[in-house]
Structure 1
Amino acid sequence: MRQCRGMSMNTFDLNKILRPHIISLAPYSSARDEYTGHVGVFLDANENPYGSVTEENYNRYPDPYQAEIKQKIAPIKNINPEHIFLGNGSDEPIDLLVRATCTPGQDHVIIMPPTYGMYEVSASIHDVKIDKVSLTTDFQIDTEAVLNAVTPVTKIIWICSPNNPTGNVMHQESIRKILENFNGLVVVDEAYIDFTDEPSWIQHLGQYPNLVVLQTFSKAWGLAGLRIGMCFASAGLIRILNKIKPPYNISLPAQQALLEGIRHEDRKKEMVIDILDQRFLLRNKLENLPLVIKIYPSDSNFLLVQFEDAKAVMDYLIHETIIVRDRSRVHLCDGCLRITVGTGEENEVLIDSLKKYQQKSVIV
């Protein structure tokens, strides 16, 4: 039985897609839930009162809800802090969204290969059925096929835009149509949004209560080592995620480093400009190599490149200690390597190595 088509977005009810026991779940109450102040004699959390074995004092637990960070993020993203969840990378909210809504062995999610692999991994871990609806040959959403794949037990539709590993933005009208005709969660993963001129779907959260937007500090901000991802959603869903997450999911050093990083938004913007310039130059140089068959359009900080013999090229680059990502066995990505845009110097090393490989192949 297929879900009724043409539904209004107003029929979305968060409680209807949450697992029933999650709604009534009593969350773990940490010491910092009972007292949120920063001043006092803290004898509540069984911490070491003398400090740390390191020069920095890490003897106190961090803010479990990262309030100060959310206050800094809110004006940058033009959204209220109550709509922000911070996780251990984007992978944590991906996992929590599955856990909150999908009953193991019963419910389904929809993914659109080729796409980011953690959607499938998280669903598989929780014994949630994965329905795959292929992107079109130009890596866009087959909207009708996606909606036709929806069943009464479909809880989440995952959309990666800009998409990984293809690099392109999904058409807004396709996403809008899915939002308006599906009463589960529609998650738009915008990990690479800073590298495109397309507006974020965050601006539509008030219009679509079933919309969830993921972003990250790992890419444009250059803070991958901190492992902090952002999830933007309705206040009700954010409360659920806070209820089921581990009590202190982001460490104090990570929170401190992120607060420092957020102060340098101008530097982040400069890095994005440099990466886009390098992407343009790298693309032009790759296009001049005969061993390159095709370079797909990119709205991200990487290029998906089809080679005559991707495996041989990959093996050669590894031998030269140049590491790219082999996507040649991924659906619709036959013969493709995914190449992250590096610095000018790194990109030159790559191009020089590809030229040497090409010369070697001609001689052989």
Structure 2
Amino acid sequence: MNSFNINNIIRPNVKAMKAYSSARDEFQEINDDFVFLDANENPFNNGLNRYPDPLQRNVKSILSKIKNFPANQILLGNGSDEVLDLIFRAFCEPNQDNVIAISPSYGMYGVLANLNAIEYRKSLLNEENFQPNIEDIFSKVDDNTKMIFLCSPNNPTGEIIKRDSILGIVNRFNGLVIIDEAYIDFAMEPSWINEIKNYPNVIVTQTLSKAVGLAGIRLGILYASQEIIDVLIKIKPPYNINQLTQLKAIEILGNYDKVVDETNTIIEQKDFLEQALAEISFVEKIYPSDANFILIKVDNANERYNQLIEKGIVIRNRNNDDLCENCLRITVGTEDENGKLVEALNSLKY
């Protein structure tokens, strides 16, 4: 039975440290009538001469309404990679602790583990349905296992992890379970952010890079208990989300109906692609996908990848990933882009 206690997993130096306090942390009231002489800024107004809101309150307020989640339990970072790195640095002791991740999955988990001198243990998914092997995961857990990473929907396989599987992990593990939901907007299953109040060891990460269409501004999101957020804020760099990023996020999130429409169009185009791919003779398998991409198994992934490059179409060759021999990952594009892909595939030598 889970007996998670955050105080048992915080690094001692992080627990003891005092967070840096910026000028805008100490005085947060925004009033154009005030004279700000506290942050050593250039006083000549060009629209960007002042430091951005270190707490990103306006962005979090909009996200809070969209996700129906408390704003004070949201942390923002420069892409999901930054918030994932903060988790490592707050809770994992270098050269001592370890983390576990399903495989194949997002490659940055392993990169960040290595960067932070944390042992990275992989647990292969069940090959027949790309779901976690729970007993295999727990065979790798020991007293120094701090975190388990679950990407859901998973990249590159595309399938969402079944709720029962996640519950089987969350309820047994006394460390943190990080559920990476970068592709959740394309799935029919609900997000796990609504479960955080019931499972304090769950952290959910999301991004504006996929469905929201803001990969260029690099804004990642972390949802967690207040206790976890407080720890991460202690080690977060000041002013880490710049003013231009905040303004663009506010602009696009302010018209969320458009985001929903685009997401629905991508899902419709995915259905079209799946049907078209089923007619291609060298496509041996189309894996179920809850994301904005499709993983397919072909006769020769390297050859087919290079043939498409020659026709000016770039997809992702996942041939070297665990369980993905001769697999290609295809991102769903616009109707025109998808049509060009299908035309190119049909023109390839069989």
The letter for the 2-side match of 1:21 is N
Shift of 1:348: 0.9
Return the match for 1:330 from 321, 325, 334: 321
Structure 2 counterpart SS, 1:110: strand
Aligned to 2:36: 42
Structure 1 residues 1-364: aligned runs within 5 Å: 7=1, 9=2, 11-39=3-31, 40-52=34-46, 57-137=47-127, 138-357=129-348, 361-362=349-350
- Percent identical pairs in the alignment equals 46
Shift of 1:13: 0.8
Shift of 1:46: 1.1
Structure 2 counterpart SS, 1:132: strand
C-alpha contact 1:65 1:242 (8 A) present in aligned 2: no
C-alpha contact 1:294 1:306 (8 A) present in aligned 2: yes
Shift of 1:322: 0.9
The letter for the 1-side match of 2:53 is D
Shift of 1:47: 0.9
CA distance in structure 2 between the partners assigned to 1:28 and 1:277 by the alignment:
47
Shift of 1:110: 0.1
After the TM superposition, which segments of 4 or more aligned residues of structure 1 sit over 2 Å from their partners? none
CA distance in structure 2 between the partners assigned to 1:36 and 1:254 by the alignment:
19
Shift of 1:284: 0.6
User: Unaligned 5+ residue runs, structure 1?
Assistant: 1-6
For residues 116-141 of structure 1, what are the alpha-carbon distances to aligned partners after superposition, in whole Å with 9 as ceiling and x for unaligned? 11111100101100111111012101
CA distance in structure 2 between the partners assigned to 1:243 and 1:261 by the alignment:
29
For residues 212-260 of structure 1, what are the alpha-carbon distances to aligned partners after superposition, in whole Å with 9 as ceiling and x for unaligned? 0011111111111111111000101111111111101111001001011
Shift of 1:51: 2.5
Count of aligned pairs between the two proteins: 347
Q: Give TM-score, length-normalised by structure 2.
A: 0.97
For residues 136-164 of structure 1, what are the alpha-carbon distances to aligned partners after superposition, in whole Å with 9 as ceiling and x for unaligned? 01210101111221100000000000000
RMSD over aligned CA atoms reads 0.9
Shift of 1:68: 1.4
CA distance in structure 1 between the partners assigned to 2:288 and 2:345 by the alignment:
21
User: Unaligned 5+ residue runs, structure 2?
Assistant: none
The letter for the 2-side match of 1:135 is L
Q: Give TM-score, length-normalised by structure 1.
A: 0.94
CA distance in structure 2 between the partners assigned to 1:277 and 1:304 by the alignment:
17
The letter for the 2-side match of 1:288 is E
